[in-house]
Structure formats: C-alpha cells, structure tokens
Amino acid sequence: MREPRGLLITGTDTGVGKTVVTCGLAGALRRRGLSVAPFKPAETGCDLAEGTNRLVPADAELLRRACATEAPLDTICPYRFRPPLAPWVAAGQAGVAIEPERLERCYRELGAWSDVVLAETAGGILVPLREDFHYADLALLLHLPVLVVVGSKLGAINHERLTLEFLRAAGIRTVACVLNHPFEETNEATETNETTLRRLASVPLFVVPHRADSAPAWDDPVFDPLAIHVEKYLGNAV
C-alpha cells in the first residue's frame, strides 16, 4: 500500500479560520482533479443531534462536504466531545483515552481512498490529544508537513514566528503560512501584518481577505494559488 499524501493544517490560535482555509483548499485541490479526504482527529464543542445522544462534529461535517467524500464520518472524526475544551481535557471528562494508534489507522484508511488527506487540528500545534501526545507528535507520527493559518490581529507576528520556530526545532516541515482575516474590525495591526510577515517570511505566505460571509466557501478562487503550491510541494515530497 502506498504511503498517504497528507497535510496538517494548524493555527496560531483558536478562531483563526482553520476550517475556512481547509475547506477552501479542499475545493481548490478538487478543481485540479485531485480526490481529497478530510481528517479531524478530535472535535470538541459538539452539539447533540436533536432528540438523540449523537454528537455532531460541525467542522468535520463541513470538511466532508467540501471534500465531497463518501468516507465514513467515524473515520473522518473518530473522537467527538461536547465540552469546548482541549481534546485531552474533554476526553478525560468523558472517561475516554485518545489512542494514537486509532488515529493512524483512520489516517491511512482515508489516504487509501484519496489523493490527499487534509488533517485539521483543534487549536494550535501544541494542543494535547493526550497528556503525553499533542498535534506536533501526530504530525511526526504520520510524517505530515504543516500549513499554518495565522489570524490577522495584534499579536499575529509573534504567534506566527513562535509557531514556525517550534516546528523548525521539532523537525517538522512547514509548507506555507496563510494570513487569514476572520475579523471584521480593522486596525493598524491588520493593515500592516501582511507586509511585515512577508519581510520576515521564512516560508511562502498566502493571504485570504476578509469575507462578509464567514461561512466556509470551497468554490472561492482565492485558494487556487495555495492549492497549486500544496500540490507541487506534496508531489515533490513523495
């Protein structure tokens, strides 16, 4: 069996638009003729389906639609929790242990069904899945390069540089950064972040402008340059 081709999408913080970027990238890769599968190892803050005890992973559902995949939701998102907490904390409250071996099996299954697997973290790269296992460990386990989504706000420069420095020190490849604009408010920081990050860039930087409609859009051509870069990167990496 061939090794899956995949990418881990993480953020410099929560609420920076990882799911929007992942959906947009999935749509752009599909337009380039690639089959794409999403992988959301753990989703917290899930609501209960009306009249049931079934937890609905809203982000994983959106990712599944963006990828137009028939892969089972239990494989796409094997761990779901109701409290909006770090996965390790939410799992502990539920009396569940997140197993890296199960995550690896799910990833490989998704890789067998698709050309590219887009895995998305919950929060940033060091958010724990277990006490002794975080998303950077998952990237190393699955040999995944990382795409960093940066939310444009005051502090974005520091957050981006800290994340990139950690990935470099951990021996994890960084494909690119995406400067996303999820917030309607503008200020001097949001107006200068792109120029500053380009001057300091150690990896390619792509920019997603603010959208009046914040819903994930997998048909937006703004993601096409990113998809071209990702396809080329993954093609050269295997």
Give the whole-angstrom CA distance, residue 123 versus residue 11: 6
Give 212's contacts (C-beta < 8 A, 6+ positions apart): none
CB–CB of 167/210 below 8 Å? no
Q: What is the rounded CA–CA span in Å between residue 45 and residue 79?
A: 12
- The rounded distance, in Å, linking the Cα atoms of 148 and 151 is 10
Count CA within 13 A, CB hemisphere, residue 4. 29
Please provide the average confidence, as pLDDT, over all residues in the chain. Answer: 94
- Known catalytic residues are 40
Would you say 90 and 51 are in contact if contact means Cβ atoms under 8 Å apart?
A: no
| Closest alpha carbon to 75 in 108, 106, 120, 103 | 106
User: Does residue 43 sit within a domain?
Assistant: yes
CA distance linking residue 156 with residue 228, whole number of Å: 25
The domain that holds 138 is classified in CATH as: 3.40.50.300
Residue 24 belongs to a domain: yes
pLDDT at 238: 44
What are the pLDDT digits (tens) for 179-209?
Answer: 999 888 889 999 999 999 999 989 999 999 9
Q: What is the extent of the structural domain holding 206?
A: 6-237
Residue 1 domain-assigned (yes or no):
no
At 108 the pLDDT is 97
Q: pLDDT digit string (tens) for 53-78?
A: 899 999 999 999 999 999 999 999 99
The answer to the question of residue 228 being in a domain is yes
The pTM score is 0.95
Locate 166 and state its tokens. 């950690």
Angle of helix 156-170 versus helix 188-200 axis, rounded to 10: 30
Q: What is the pLDDT of residue 1?
A: 54
Q: Divide the 238 residues of the chain into consecutive groups of 10 and give the mean pLDDT of each group.
A: 87 93 97 97 94 91 95 97 97 97 98 96 97 98 98 95 97 98 87 95 93 75 96 79
Tally of domains in the chain? 1
